[in-house]
Amino acid sequence: MSTSNLMAIDGETKVVGLFGDPVGHSLSPAMHNAAFGERGLNFCYLPFRVRREDLPAAIKAIASLGLRGVNVTAPHKESVVSYLDELSPEAGFLKAVNTIENNGGKLAGCNTDVDGFFFLLQNNLGKAFPAEKACLLGAGGSARAVSLALARAGVSSLVIANRTVARAEGLASLLIEGKIFEEAEVRVVKLDKKPLQEEIVSSTLIINTLSKDPVELGLLPQEEMRSCQAAIDLRYNPPETSFIKWAKRCGARGINGLDMLLGQGLKAFEIFTGEKAPLQIMREALIKAVKIYHHP
Ligand SMILES: NC(=O)c1ccc[n+]([C@@H]2O[C@H](COP(=O)([O-])OP(=O)(O)OC[C@H]3O[C@@H](n4cnc5c(N)ncnc54)[C@H](OP(=O)(O)O)[C@@H]3O)[C@@H](O)[C@H]2O)c1
- Per-residue pLDDT of 194-221, as tens digits, reads 999 999 999 999 999 999 999 999 999 8
Distance CA 55, CA 75 (A): 10
Q: How far is the CA of 211 from the centre of ligand 1 (A)?
A: 3
Evaluate if residue 174 carries a pLDDT over 50: yes
Q: How far is the CA of 147 from the centre of ligand 1 (A)?
A: 14
- Tell me the pLDDT of the chain averaged across its residues: 94
Take atom 7 of ligand 1 and give the residue whose Cα is closest: 142
For position 116, what pLDDT does the model report? 98
Tell which residue, 96, 76, 87, has the closest CA to residue 147: 96
- Ligand 1 site-directed mutation target among 159, 163, 243, 283, most atoms within 8 Å of CB: 163
Domains 14-112+261-293 and 115-258 share a fold: yes
Residue 128: pLDDT band (50, 70, 90) is confident
Distance CA 282, CA 261 (A): 10
Fold of 14-112+261-293: Rossmann fold (3.40.50)
Distance CA 39, CA 41 (A): 5
For position 5, what pLDDT does the model report? 58
Task: For residues 26-46, give the mean pLDDT.
Answer: 97
For position 294, what pLDDT does the model report? 59
- Is 190's C-beta closer than 6 angstroms to any atom of ligand 1? no
Take atom 8 of ligand 1 and give the residue whose Cα is closest: 234
- Ligand 1 site-directed mutation target among 211, 216, 262, most atoms within 8 Å of CB: 211
Q: How far is the CA of 8 from the centre of ligand 1 (A)?
A: 38
Give the phi and the psi of residue 225 in degrees, each rounded to 5.
-105, 105
Contact 218, 193 (CB under 8 A): yes
For position 274, what pLDDT does the model report? 98
Tell which residue, 188, 187, 116, 177, has the closest CA to residue 152: 116
Residue 185: strand, helix, or coil: strand
Evaluate if residue 150 carries a pLDDT over 70: yes
- Is 260's C-beta closer than 6 angstroms to any atom of ligand 1? yes
- Per-residue pLDDT of 154-164, as tens digits, reads 999 999 999 99
- Per-residue pLDDT of 67-99, as tens digits, reads 999 999 999 999 999 999 999 999 999 999 999
Evaluate if residue 296 carries a pLDDT over 60: no
Distance CA 71, CA 260 (A): 14
Q: How far is the CA of 139 from the centre of ligand 1 (A)?
A: 8
Contact 169, 145 (CB under 8 A): no
Q: Which of 5-14, 123-132, 259-268 has the highest mean predicted lDDT (pLDDT)?
A: 259-268
Distance CA 55, CA 59 (A): 6
Distance CA 51, CA 201 (A): 42
Residue partners of 133: CB distance under 8 A and separation at least 6: 155, 156, 157, 158, 159, 202, 203, 204, 205, 227
- Per-residue pLDDT of 230-285, as tens digits, reads 999 999 999 999 999 999 999 999 999 999 999 999 999 999 999 999 999 999 99
- Is 139's C-beta closer than 6 angstroms to any atom of ligand 1? yes
- Is 219's C-beta closer than 6 angstroms to any atom of ligand 1? no
Q: How far is the CA of 177 from the centre of ligand 1 (A)?
A: 24
Q: How far is the CA of 204 from the centre of ligand 1 (A)?
A: 22
Bridge-based pairing of strands 205-208 and 230-233 is: parallel
Question: For the chain, which residues make up each domain, given as ranges?
Answer: 14-112+261-293, 115-258
Q: Catalytic: 291? A: no
Task: List, in sequence order, the alpha helices (H) in the chain.
Answer: 28-39, 55-64, 89-94, 112-124, 141-153, 165-177, 193-201, 242-249, 258-273, 279-293
Contact 178, 106 (CB under 8 A): no
Give the phi and the psi of residue 233 in degrees, each rounded to 5.
-110, 125
> Does the structural domain 115-258 have CATH classification 3.40.50.720?
yes
- Ligand 1 site-directed mutation target among 142, 146, 165, 216, most atoms within 8 Å of CB: 142
Question: What letter represents residue 78's amino acid?
Answer: E
Distance CA 74, CA 76 (A): 5
For position 8, what pLDDT does the model report? 86
Task: For residues 16-30, give the mean pLDDT.
Answer: 97
Of the residues 60, 77, 106, 288, which is catalytic? Answer: 77
- Is 257's C-beta closer than 6 angstroms to any atom of ligand 1? yes
